Chain A
């Protein structure tokens, strides 16, 4: 099984950005950013691209699919 892991939280901290700031920039609710960070929501391609654009990074640097067999992840960082 594949899981989506994101580096949004780390990038936010680097850019000194709150969840609400990022949410405003990509036109979603703060709850959506929170759920993506916690691995509870799988964003659409458009939203993933918008988030990548905010941080000036390619989308594959922020979002990554990992096979469950390859690595053990904490439950909070997993999205099926």
Chain B
């Protein structure tokens, strides 16, 4: 039987939210640039996020969440959701303004989805880190 890797709540949130969110943002930015090299870099970031999630799920043993951790996770998820809503609105404004522009930028629209979701996840992870600081 393989030995499980012990991860604290902070580490788990970092890997599940902050790191994954940042990887998604970077992948979105790379795809936005819309070149063969940036597409490969985007694939690298998505692979990194996927591998870390799979390792955590299969080999990780997470520290038991107590009431403060649960409370902070709920609060940080709410902050992450609010940030994601703002990111969605900003991306809509950008898309609409781009369509009206005399020289519109040609980019894959789905790259914005990566950036929006990644921003929300990273914000939730960072908010949790802020709530748990100095503990």
In the assembled complex, A28 has its CB within 8 A of some CB on chain B: yes
B67 & A32 in contact (Cβ 8 Å cutoff):
yes
Total chain B interface residues with beta-carbon distance under 8 A: 11
User: Nearest residue in A to B65 (C-beta to C-beta)?
Assistant: A29
> In the assembled complex, how far is the CB of residue B47 from the closest CB belonging to chain A, in whole angstroms?
32
Which DSSP category, helix, strand, loop or mixed, fits chain A's interface? loop
In the assembled complex, B63 has its CB within 8 A of some CB on chain A: yes
A34 & B135 in contact (Cβ 8 Å cutoff):
yes
Report how far A43 CA is from B70 CA in the complex, Å.
Answer: 12
A32 & B68 in contact (Cβ 8 Å cutoff):
yes
Interface residues of B in 84-135 (CB under 8 A from A): 132, 134-135
Complex interface: chain B residues within 8 A of A30 (CB): 135
B residues with a Cβ closer than 8 A to A are 9, 63-64, 66-69, 71, 132, 134-135
A31 & B67 in contact (Cβ 8 Å cutoff):
no
In the assembled complex, A44 has its CB within 8 A of some CB on chain B: yes
Complex interface: chain A residues within 8 A of B69 (CB): 29, 32
Complex interface: chain B residues within 8 A of A29 (CB): 9, 63, 66, 68-69
Report how far A26 CA is from B20 CA in the complex, Å.
Answer: 33
Q: Would you give the 0/1 interface string for A25-53, flagging 1 where the beta carbon is closer than 8 Å to chain B?
A: 00111111011001011011001000000
Q: List 27 A-B contacts (CB under 8 A).
A: A27-B64, A27-B66, A28-B67, A28-B68, A29-B9, A29-B66, A29-B68, A29-B69, A30-B135, A31-B68, A31-B132, A32-B66, A32-B67, A32-B68, A32-B69, A32-B135, A34-B134, A34-B135, A35-B68, A35-B135, A40-B134, A40-B135, A41-B68, A41-B71, A43-B67, A44-B67, A47-B67
